Structure 1
Amino acid sequence: MTTSTKRLGWIVAIAGGVIASLITFPAAVPWMIAGWLLYSTVLIARGRPGWLPLLVCASIVLVKNVDWPSAFYLLAGAMLAVGIWRGAGSRKQPSVSSNRLGVAVSMIALWGAWLALSWMWWTSAHSSEMPQLQGERPVVCVGDSLTSFGYPDELAKLLTIPVINQGTDGITTSDALKALPELIAANPQIVVIELGGHDFLKGKTRAATKANLQKIVDACHDIGAEVVVMEVPRGFIIDPFGGLEREFTRDNDLELVSDGTIRNLVLWSPYAPPGLWLDAARHLSDDGLHPNARGNRYMAECVTEALVRLYGEKIRTTP
């Protein structure tokens, strides 16, 4: 194999890695970062500078505009320090002993920061609460058309407590605030919130959306209801709301249903791969966004898993 062929192969591989990284779901962002860190680690271990993968990774994270917990700044600092060290070191030949020490320290810094990020990323999506089921108080599902299309009806088949569908087509967080009396009147012990998509579509700001969500959650907590939040995707590459739901659940210690739930409705539809290449019997959506019967079952199963994490298997009906 010629040098030019090898170089072309590496370029194609890196380009493929960049594309795959850009479309990575937020839940898998730490693993995407791990891939680039591993690439840099291999290069450094072989005596190469290794700073380029770190630069590419940092650029991808900035472009995707994901949630930035505090551990992200720690990792960014470690990547910057290692990148500068390797960039400067590539212009001179350090002693073998100092180079080995530098490599060891840089690897500990990078992977230690990555572990801290991964832990915080995981805890951002999970509540530390361990609530107890309260009799027959229902689950109330609040959301836009993704909710009103009927996943709560499927959810009711999977849970041991009643489920009420309060989804409304096109609803924003402001509309949901106005409908709080109806929500409170249902006396829920759990509220599943799927809101914020139409806030973005209708030009509402991230700050206003977050403030409205906070008022809704506070009202739910005031009546002793637990809250589960569905992560809403607003773009396959860039999130214009900067990981709002993940930040919100971390700040409020809530359980999160990953945005992969809604993204898969699009991917497993006739309008995007892999659904584009599959027969209709495997589609989760017929119009490319809203769930069909199979999609409603899928969404209900995802919400059920979140509730099982909170309450244990006792909330799930036996098969």
Structure 2
Amino acid sequence: MRAWLLGSCLALMVMAQEAAAGTVLVVGDSISAALGLETSQGWVSLLQKRMDDEGFEHRVVNASISGDTSAGGASRLPALLGEHKPELVIIELGGNDGLRGQPPAQLQHNLAGMVEQSQKAGAKVLLLGMRLPPNYGKRYTDAFAQVYQDLASARQVPLVPFFLEGVGGVEGMMQADGIHPAASAQGKLLDNVWPTLKPLL
């Protein structure tokens, strides 16, 4: 009986520590899924290592899927929130919407829904902004970038204005396809996110 009680107490202590530490849920596309790289090389894996090194006990769950759009993320999010009960949700979506020329208003609607769902579930939200190459035309690229600014302001959520700052289009930072960041760029991606992310932990 005493051994059973001791075992139960230890299990409860472990569960309490995990609950206290919290979960960081990353919902993104191929950039966060580390397409073309070993998963361990991706910025999300590097994020877990940095948090461990700096004494944070949070667990990072990478729910990113290559090719995902804001509509796909919005449809997947309720189940992810229910399963992982995150303390913080990082949303890195929209690039595929833009590359497919989808309306910025649709992107804003989907992302706003994801922010609202996350907040209702008690999670903080960090939004990672994206920009499109200039060949998509100034009118469209400006409207696309403005979606993130408007959403962050309206919903009062922290924003990294351009997740690929110092990476997109920079020689040596991209894979051969010119779309996905190389292994050499993953630390820079994390550095772009970390100053805004750290105060939320």
Provide the TM-score with structure 1 as the length reference.
0.48
Aligned with 1:293 (options 173, 183, 190)? 183
- AA aligned to 2:183 is A
Q: CA deviation at 1:292?
A: 2.2
Provide the secondary structure at the position in 2 that maps to 1:135: helix
Structure 1 consecutive aligned stretches of length 4 or more whose deviation exceeds 4 Å: none
Q: Which residue type is aligned with residue 107 of structure 2?
A: T
Aligned to 1:66: none
Quote the sequence identity (%).
Answer: 25
Partner of 2:77: 180
Q: Deviations over 1:84-104 (max 9, x none)?
A: xxxxxxxxxxxxxxxxxxxxx
Q: Which has the larger radius of gyration?
A: 1
Aligned mates of 2:144, 2:193 — CA distance in 1? 23
**Root-mean-square deviation over aligned CA pairs:** 1.9
CA deviations 1:230-249 (Å, max 9, x no partner) are 11101347224251101110
Q: Give the match for residue 166 of structure 2.
A: 264
2:142 is the counterpart of 1:244: no
Aligned letter for 1:300? L
Aligned counterparts, 1:196-211, within 5 A: 196-211=94-109
Offset of residue 263 of structure 1? 4.1
| Other-structure match for 1:307 | 197
Q: Paired residue for 2:14?
A: none
Q: Per the alignment, do residues 241 and 186 of structure 1 end up closer, same or farther by CA in structure 2, a change over 3 Å counting?
A: same
- Structure 2 regions of 5+ residues with no counterpart? 1-18, 35-41
| Compared CA separation, residues 164 and 244, structure 1 to 2 (3 A) | same
Does the 8 Å contact 2:78/2:117 carry over to 1? no
**More displaced, 285-294 or 209-218?**
285-294
SS of aligned partner of 1:264:
coil
Q: Is the 8 A contact 2:69 2:96 kept in 1?
A: yes
Aligned length: 164
Q: In the TM superposition, what is the alpha-carbon distance from 1:145 to its structure 2 partner?
A: 0.6
Secondary structure at the aligned position of 1:267 is classed as coil
Structure 1: segments with no counterpart, 5+ residues: 1-133, 269-274, 276-282
Q: 1 CA distance for matches of 2:145 and 2:193? A: 23
Give the distance between the partners of 1:242 and 1:257, measured in 2 at CA.
Answer: 12
Q: What SS does structure 2 have at the residue aligned with 1:188?
A: coil
Pairing 1:49-198 to 2, within 5 Å after superposition: 135-149=20-34, 150-159=42-51, 160=56, 161-184=58-81, 185-198=83-96
Letter in 2 for 1:291: P
Per the TM alignment, residue 252 of structure 1 is displaced from its structure 2 partner at its CA by 0.9
Q: Per residue, is there more helix in 1 or in 2?
A: 1
Question: In the alignment, does 2:118 pair up with 1:220?
Answer: yes
From 247, 255, 258, give the equivalent of 2:158.
255
Taking the aligned partners of 1:234 and 1:266, their CA distance within structure 2 comes to 9
SS in 2 for 1:249: helix
Q: Secondary structure at the match of 1:156?
A: helix
Amino acid paired to 2:185 = G
Distance 1:266 1:200 in 2: 15
User: Structure 2 CA distance, aligned partners of 1:208 and 1:189?
Assistant: 27
The Cα offsets for residues 29-62 of structure 1, whole Å up to 9 and x where unpaired, read as xxxxxxxxxxxxxxxxxxxxxxxxxxxxxxxxxx
Q: Tell me what 2:5 maps to.
A: none
Q: Look up the equivalent residue of 1:172 and give its one-letter code.
A: T
CA contact (8 A) 1:143 1:171 kept: yes
Residue type at the aligned position of 2:180: H
Q: Distance in 1 between matches of 2:20 and 2:190?
A: 21
